[in-house]
Amino acid sequence: MSTPKASIGTKARLRNVGNGFIELSNDALRFYIEAGRFKKTRKIAREIPFAEISSFEKLGNDLNVVWKDATNVFALEEAGQAEVFYEKISQALAERKKIEEVKVAQDKEVRNHEERSLNFMEAAESLFMLLRNLNGRVDWKSVESSYIRFEENTVKFLETSNSLNIELKPLHTAVQERRSRETAEKAFDTLKTLYEHYNKLALAVSVEDKNGQLQRDTKMIVHGFYVLNDIALGKVVGDSQMSQEYADLLKTLDELARLPGWRIDINSIKELLEKPSVEIAGHDGVFNDAISMLGEQLKELLVFVSSGPPSADSSV
């Protein structure tokens, strides 16, 4: 925010209005006329916010300000005051433009952060699905489909990320040659590399979001999404050592439940993940659909958090 400055003013005449007093404050130009029986009360006859000034110029002691497609001609009484007002207005508009440019850059970075977070979530989800499809009798068409989706989203993720060189060809080759063990190993390595890189990413532009709250919230959502898919994989492959991941997920979801936009039923997640692996294996389609639905809800929450709360006048 800009530091408040003392207002300046002088006697002037506004064409088609009359004599009065012109004042320049932090955010607007105001013209007052004297009112009342003894002309001791000032009444605002014209108030022009800087943000609404289309153009302005100085001609001698006249200050011409274009506002709402109309030219307001102020004839300043004191010689040289027009120059002072011209410089102050120029400075104020320059500062406002700079603030707007910073805001545009911040909004763009927030959108980029949201996009790369979603692209990472899509890429990670595809790799987890690929790994789940490697369990039991391998459905290589599903594995190949998951890999294609993973590659598409990873390319998008890398476009909005910096300083990560990752080679996708070894995993691609293992999938093409249908080597299940090597495919699993390469997929795990790639997943770990991408996740570690995502956690190191920071907002490139300083964003006023309550000391990094936006970044913490989005990364917490992504962490919950990652752990959810990790537990789902463990359930499918029959990994009984998932108590730490389970506790981690519930702790993360409890924290996420405090965020605006939260609408996920934690009890339904507990019920789903407490089912025995044998029961899940017999209903893979239902389980996959449930995990996918929960994942989509976490993505929606991330978009909601990145967009920020609605403005105070949004319902007007």
pLDDT, one tens digit per residue, over 50-67 is 889 989 999 999 999 999
Q: Is the pLDDT of residue 244 over 60?
A: yes
Count of all residues that appear for the chain in the document: 316
| Intra-chain end-to-end CA distance of the chain, in Å | 26
- Provide the pLDDT confidence category of residue 5 given band limits of 50, 70 and 90: low
Nearest of 144, 230, 170, 231 to residue 195 by alpha carbon: 230
pLDDT of 177 reads: 95
pLDDT of 213 reads: 80
Entry pTM: 0.72
- Provide the pLDDT confidence category of residue 12 given band limits of 50, 70 and 90: very high
For the chain, what are the domain ranges? 8-79, 101-307
- Provide the pLDDT confidence category of residue 121 given band limits of 50, 70 and 90: very high
Kind and range of the H or E element at 132? helix 81-133
> Among 5-19, 190-204, 208-222, which is the least confidently predicted range?
208-222
Fold entry, domain 8-79 = PH-domain like (2.30.29)
Is the model more confident about 311 or about 245?
245
Burial (0-12, 13-18, 19+ Cβ within 10 Å), 250: middle
Structure tokens at 170: 């070894």
- Provide the pLDDT confidence category of residue 313 given band limits of 50, 70 and 90: very low
pLDDT, one tens digit per residue, over 69-120 is 999 999 998 878 889 899 988 988 888 888 888 888 888 888 888 898 999 9
Q: Which residues pair with 46 in a beta bridge?
A: 31
